[in-house]
Amino acid sequence: MKLHEYQSKNIFSKYGIPIPKGRVAATAQEAKQVAEELGGRVVVKSQVLVGGRGKAGGVKLAKNAAEAEQLAEQILALEIKGLPVRKVLIDEASAIDQEIYFAITNDRAAKKPVMIASAAGGVDIEEVAAKDPDKIIKVHIDPLLGLREYQARDVAVGIDLPRDYWKDFTKIAMALWNVYKETDATLAEINPLVITKEKKLIALDGKMMIDDNALFRQPELAEMRDTDEDAPAEIEARKYGLSYIKLDGNIGCMVNGAGLAMTSMDVIKLFGGEPANFLDVGGGADSKKVAAAMRIILTDTNVKAVLFNIFGGITRCDEVARGILVAMDEVKPKVPMVVRLVGTNAEEGRKLLENANMITAETLADAAKKSVEAAKKESK
Amino acid sequence: MSILVDKNTRLLVQGVTGNEGLFHTTQMVAYGTQVVGGITPGKGGEWVLEKIPVFDSVRAAKENTDANATIIFVPARFAPDAMFEAADAGIPLIICITEGVAISDMMRVRNYLDQKNVRLIGPNCPGLLTPGEAKVGIIPGNIAIPGNVGVVSRSGTLTYEVLYAMKNLGMGASTCVGIGGDPVNGTNFVDVLDMFEHDPETEKVIMIGEIGGNEEEKAAEFIRTKMTKPVASFIAGQTAPPGKRMGHAGAIIEGGEGSAADKIKALEAAGVKVAKHPEEIPTLLS
């Protein structure tokens, strides 16, 4: 789960990381008010959960409150990479001397958290990593020991931070570690961390991602979820405990198991089709879940055919087939359905579905071919 | 011979009285696995399936049964504690089936277990199957036959698919290892490939990977430099968009890393035959 900049910076601030004075606003009027309170020059920053806000015109500098209102009006009307801007953050403008990149994230290969820092901050760190890997330093953290101060100093030295700033930087690093650890973040990023003309370190921008699997113990963070970036069908799927991701093709997929679901998409593509979605319906033969999955797939009007690919293991195929029949009866889909059942009691399952006006297939390759054909026919 | 589990495995089940735990314990016992005890705190002294004693702690179970492996079926929020407990009790092989363990917990578990010299399989995995000898997990026993092909996979049903296709061709498995779909797990491809390379019964290997991380690339390097046995592979997620988590917590292309194309390229460069679809995999080895 991603957090907005203003949410991330509020958390940073609670842990003692200096941030610019500012507040979030939902209307231009409100933006003006905040700018008036702050006085002087302010930055108006769109709050959307994608990168590249600056390039898209979503971050602007205003000389005074009147201009802040005007810019907020413009920015609140924007759509950035398909996401509507619903809020702007009004921050007092800082006089910047240097921009630093500093983050703590998971290194899955090392199986440890890692601090990443670069003196080349303020830009996309992945670009720096690609072009100039020497400019990035990484220090791993033992998850059982936690971050030690000497490691933070090592980072300060690594990015050539002048000695005068080591103490403040170490404080910020320790605070960011506490943020990362206590919020179950998978990313806590300050980009840029700036040195101001007044010789202060301030987190000018912030980004956080929280581990969905840890939200059970982070109820306050769970409530901050902004579902704007999710397709409505993805939100609906989450309610039923289904894993659904919308794609651009026209062949809907319903599969049990994540690996097999990805594979089914791949095989559709291999035989000349385009998958409309990823959907893992999970184990079991619960007809309610199957019906919900069917409804969700069919909300996508691009879908011209649906492929069911079910491997019956402990769950028997005839049970799954009965679940599908109940769901078919309830949803009454109008596009062709291709079903492939394999594994335990597949034969019995197939027989049950033969009378259900479904196209049956034995192998995955065969099922993919048939669904590609069916979608083509349906598109004519 | 086989790897990790066989007819001499003496298994404990953590969460044995829960729905999942009891269901799969029944299946494992029916397959012939020696389940010697179960653990549910607060239910010590009870019995399940009439012959399996329940203990309050893994330590008590270990002392009374001489178990050499444990399988975990407890909910995600309790699974880290269950893994720590098993490691502390000195169980050398821990299999964690549970899906949804927080990555911060897994990093702590993994770093702790590494100091204890304990092998963890999973979490978020279907477990282990040595056909004809022991089923330690949830892989359906009837879809695989004994043989000389080692199977290792990050997936569940996709693995079943491959085992079933093998069986239909009369091809059997020495051991099937589900290492799980999480970004931080206990055992990776290289660990299992190394075990298969040294297992006299295993003559060929099937490796089923997916998008996310770089374990397949590391495996490719291992195969190129250390393995003498032929390996066939399949990588799921060629059509997965970047930045989206495809069901498994670890199945995500991010920061320009983890695409199927990169993995396939690395494997092919190491002489691995990579199948276009899962039903093709066994035919690449015959």
Closest in A211, A216, A269 to B104, CB measured? A211
Distance CA A60, CA A41 (A): 11
Question: Shortest Cα distance from B197 to chain A (angstroms)?
Answer: 23
Q: What integer pLDDT is reported at residue A303 of this predicted model?
A: 94
Hey, what CATH class is B10-121 in? alpha beta
φ and ψ at residue A201, rounded to 5 degrees: -95, 125
| DSSP assignment letter at A275 | B
B220-267 pLDDT per residue, tens: 999 999 999 999 999 999 999 998 899 898 999 987 889 999 999 999
Restricting to B residues 204-233, those with a Cβ less than 8 Å away from any Cβ of A are: 208, 210-211, 213-215
Q: What integer pLDDT is reported at residue B103 of this predicted model?
A: 97
Kindly list the residues from chain B whose CB atom is less than 8 angstroms away from the CB atom of residue A313: 138-140, 143, 157, 160
Q: Which residue of B has its CA nearest to A114?
A: B107
Q: Identify the CATH number of the domain defined by range B139-284.
A: 3.40.50.261
Conformation bin of residue B237: beta by default, left when phi > 0, alpha when psi is -120 to 50: left
- The bridge status of strand B127-130 relative to strand B173-178 is antiparallel
For B69-108, the DSSP string reads EEEE-S-TTTHHHHHHHHHHTT-SEEEE------HHHHHH
List the catalytic residues of B.
Answer: 248
Restricting to A residues 16-55, those with a Cβ less than 8 Å away from any Cβ of B are: none
Task: Over range B107-132, report the average pLDDT.
Answer: 96
CB–CB contacts below 8 A, A to B: 160
Does domain A21-92 sit in CATH 3.30.1490.20?
Answer: yes
Query: Which residues in chain A land under pLDDT 70?
Result: 283-285
Q: What integer pLDDT is reported at residue B46 of this predicted model?
A: 96
Q: Cβ of A184 under 8 Å from any chain B Cβ?
A: yes
Q: What integer pLDDT is reported at residue B267 of this predicted model?
A: 97
Q: What integer pLDDT is reported at residue A325 of this predicted model?
A: 87
Rg of chain A's alpha carbons, rounded to an integer? 26
CB contact under 8 A, B241 and A247: yes
Kindly list the residues from chain B whose CB atom is less than 8 angstroms away from the CB atom of residue A255: 157
CB contact under 8 A, A259 and B181: yes
For A61-108, the DSSP string reads EESSHHHHHHHHHHHHT-EETTEE---EEEEE---EEEEEEEEEEEET
Distance CA B2, CA A338 (A): 39
Restricting to B residues 136-155, those with a Cβ less than 8 Å away from any Cβ of A are: 138-140, 142-143, 153-155
φ and ψ at residue B235, rounded to 5 degrees: -120, 120
Q: Cβ of A126 under 8 Å from any chain B Cβ?
A: yes
Residue B130 pLDDT class (50, 70, 90 cuts): very high
- Compute the mean pLDDT over every residue in chain B, rounded to the nearest whole number: 95
A117-143 pLDDT per residue, tens: 999 887 777 788 788 888 899 999 999
Task: Over range B162-182, report the average pLDDT.
Answer: 95
Distance CA B68, CA B94 (A): 9
Q: What integer pLDDT is reported at residue A312 of this predicted model?
A: 80
* CA dihedral of residues B85, B88, B91, B97 (deg, nearest 10): 30
Q: Which residue of A has its CA nearest to B99?
A: A213
Domain layout of chain A by residue ranges: 21-92, 96-222, 230-379
A200-213 pLDDT per residue, tens: 999 999 999 999 99
Q: What integer pLDDT is reported at residue A124 of this predicted model?
A: 77
Domain layout of chain B by residue ranges: 10-121, 139-284
Q: What integer pLDDT is reported at residue B21 of this predicted model?
A: 94
CB contact under 8 A, B246 and A342: no
Equal fold, A21-92 vs A96-222? no
Q: Is A99 a catalytic residue?
A: no
Restricting to A residues 314-373, those with a Cβ less than 8 Å away from any Cβ of B are: 314, 342-344, 363-365, 368
Hey, what CATH class is A230-379 in? alpha beta
Q: What integer pLDDT is reported at residue A52 of this predicted model?
A: 84
Candidates B199, B222, A106, B198; CA nearest to B207 is B222
CB contact under 8 A, B211 and A245: no
B73-116 pLDDT per residue, tens: 999 999 999 999 999 999 999 999 999 999 999 999 999 999 99
Q: Identify the CATH number of the domain defined by range A96-222.
A: 3.30.470.20
Restricting to B residues 82-141, those with a Cβ less than 8 Å away from any Cβ of A are: 100-108, 110-112, 138-140
* CA B160 to mean position of chain CA atoms: 12
Distance CA B10, CA B65 (A): 8
Q: What integer pLDDT is reported at residue A284 of this predicted model?
A: 64
Task: Over range B57-76, report the average pLDDT.
Answer: 97
